[in-house]
Structure 1
Amino acid sequence: MAPYDVKRERKECYAPKNTAWAIVDVPEQQFIALDGAGDPNTAPAYTEAVAALYAVAYTLKFAAKRTAGGDFVVAPLEGLWWADTPEAFTSGAKDTWSWTMLIGMPSWITKEMIEDAGQAALVKKKLPAISRVRHLTLHEGRSAQVLHIGSYDDEAPVLHELHHTYLAAQRLRPTGLHHEIYLSDPRRTAPEKLRTVLRQPVESVDP
């Protein structure tokens, strides 16, 4: 049997084709997560967080082969992003950004398995940030979502459209954190070809 792959099993969330905003219902999912702040292009904390998450994720992947659930493909890197003011994203004030970086886990991966994998990865990799990797359950539900093709710096007009045009037209308002799923490896993909899922949990505005 092929390893579990969230991109295959949840195509509506991890392999969307719409390049214009649309509504999707996002089910509950569990992640390994690590919190931080600062410019993702320059802050050492960001690089350390990503390295720590992948170290734990691959340790869990190999441990999962011995469980009833079986092997899985390591899911794409994701991020929850926020700042004191929404303008921090459209203006590119990256030093003021806060984030929680994520990697999705299959349903059979337990909190105890995550803790054990963190301890094993810390011994092997000796990355201090691994000690801050935590389990997170997230249920975003109704969300506006789009597939953005292009550089991360080109997201600002897309987000401006969401918050200044699309949500008002649909009588919706944001309820959770801005969510991004990175389907491309920026080390191997030209900026103009990067594929990123942009997501914003929403709710209806009372009439």
Structure 2
Amino acid sequence: MTEKTDFKKTLDAYRAKRGQFRILDVPDLQYLMIDGHGDPNTSPQFVGALEALYPVAYKLKFASKTGLGRDYVVMPLEGLWWARDMDAFTAARDKSQWDWTLMIMVPDWIDANMFAAAVAQVGTKGPPTRLGEVRLETLGEGRCVQTLHLGPFDEEAAVLRELHHEFIPASGLRMAGTHHEIYLTDNRRTPPEKQRTILRQPVADA
């Protein structure tokens, strides 16, 4: 039987504790990515992004298992989030102003040919409307600070203010990249109070 790798357990970048800000070096990782704008609760773009990402992710898992003998657990959804005025994200929570990139991490042995084949397979019958916008890209974040948030997404703001305005400056650092979230639980099936989200912020020396 092919051994199944769970990168959430093997990669340090997927470890975080509630109430603790941890500085770590995140390695370059490869993702399926798709971009969008607007409120994730109401935006058709957001729904279309999910409908395109997941079928490709599962086709790649199947291709890796059957073609390479390397099985792995499909990774959780992740997102990069930003706005022209970051107060729209951390304070006002004006979701209509948000830009985002949704992502699913895939192993480094997944190459461009495997990706193209997976997209083609997904597109053979009833293709998702945004399938052609999914891309395979490596993200290099380097030095980051992260923590675990337990609870509804709209309660992240206080944690982010502490991270951005207290911990990072007090550590002799500055924000140097895009806010990153890793959704360890499926919010469609998990009560808001039990949702577990890694909050990550790339940083550099101040």
* Cross-structure match for 1:148: 149
Give the deviation of 1:15 after TM superposition: 3.1
Secondary structure at 1:144 match in 2? strand
Indicate how the Cα distance of structure 1 residues 69 and 17 shifts in structure 2: closer, same or farther if over 3 A, else same: farther
1:18·1:147 contact (CA, 8 Å) conserved in 2?
A: yes
Q: Give the TM-score of the pair, scaled to structure 2.
A: 0.95
- How far apart, CA to CA, are the structure 1 residues paired with 2:125 and 2:106? 21
* Cross-structure match for 1:76: 76
1:183·1:196 contact (CA, 8 Å) conserved in 2?
A: yes
* Cross-structure match for 1:133: 134
Give deviations 1:39-96, integer Å, cap 9, x for gaps: 0010011011011100100111111113335111100000011110110112110001
Indicate how the Cα distance of structure 1 residues 69 and 171 shifts in structure 2: closer, same or farther if over 3 A, else same: farther
1:175·1:202 contact (CA, 8 Å) conserved in 2?
A: yes
Unpaired segments ≥5 residues, structure 1: none
Residues 147-166 of structure 1 correspond to what in structure 2 (within 5 A)?
147-166=148-167
- How far apart, CA to CA, are the structure 1 residues paired with 2:8 and 2:136? 20
- How far apart, CA to CA, are the structure 2 residues paired with 1:60 and 1:168? 41
Secondary structure at 2:52 match in 1? helix
Indicate how the Cα distance of structure 1 residues 63 and 125 shifts in structure 2: closer, same or farther if over 3 A, else same: farther
- How far apart, CA to CA, are the structure 2 residues paired with 1:56 and 1:169? 42
* Cross-structure match for 1:168: 169
Secondary structure at 1:186 match in 2? coil
Unpaired segments ≥5 residues, structure 2: none
* Cross-structure match for 1:33: 33
Give the deviation of 1:18 after TM superposition: 4.4
- How far apart, CA to CA, are the structure 2 residues paired with 1:67 and 1:139? 28
Residues 41-190 of structure 1 correspond to what in structure 2 (within 5 A)?
41-68=41-68, 70-90=70-90, 91-190=92-191
One-letter identity of the residue aligned with 1:98: D
2:3·2:70 contact (CA, 8 Å) conserved in 1?
A: no
One-letter identity of the residue aligned with 1:68: L
Secondary structure at 1:32 match in 2? strand
- How far apart, CA to CA, are the structure 2 residues paired with 1:40 and 1:153? 12
Indicate how the Cα distance of structure 1 residues 69 and 142 shifts in structure 2: closer, same or farther if over 3 A, else same: farther
One-letter identity of the residue aligned with 1:65: K
- How far apart, CA to CA, are the structure 2 residues paired with 1:147 and 1:2? 29
Indicate how the Cα distance of structure 1 residues 125 and 106 shifts in structure 2: closer, same or farther if over 3 A, else same: farther
2:20·2:147 contact (CA, 8 Å) conserved in 1?
A: yes
Q: Give the TM-score of the pair, scaled to structure 1.
A: 0.95
1:69·1:108 contact (CA, 8 Å) conserved in 2?
A: no
1:55·1:125 contact (CA, 8 Å) conserved in 2?
A: no
Give deviations 1:155-177, integer Å, cap 9, x for gaps: 00011111111111001101110
> Taking every aligned residue pair, what percent have the same amino acid on both sides?
49
Secondary structure at 2:168 match in 1? helix
Give deviations 1:181-201, integer Å, cap 9, x for gaps: 000011111101100000000
- How far apart, CA to CA, are the structure 2 residues paired with 1:59 and 1:108? 14
Name whichever of 61-70 and 50-59 sits farther off. Answer: 61-70
2:64·2:70 contact (CA, 8 Å) conserved in 1?
A: yes
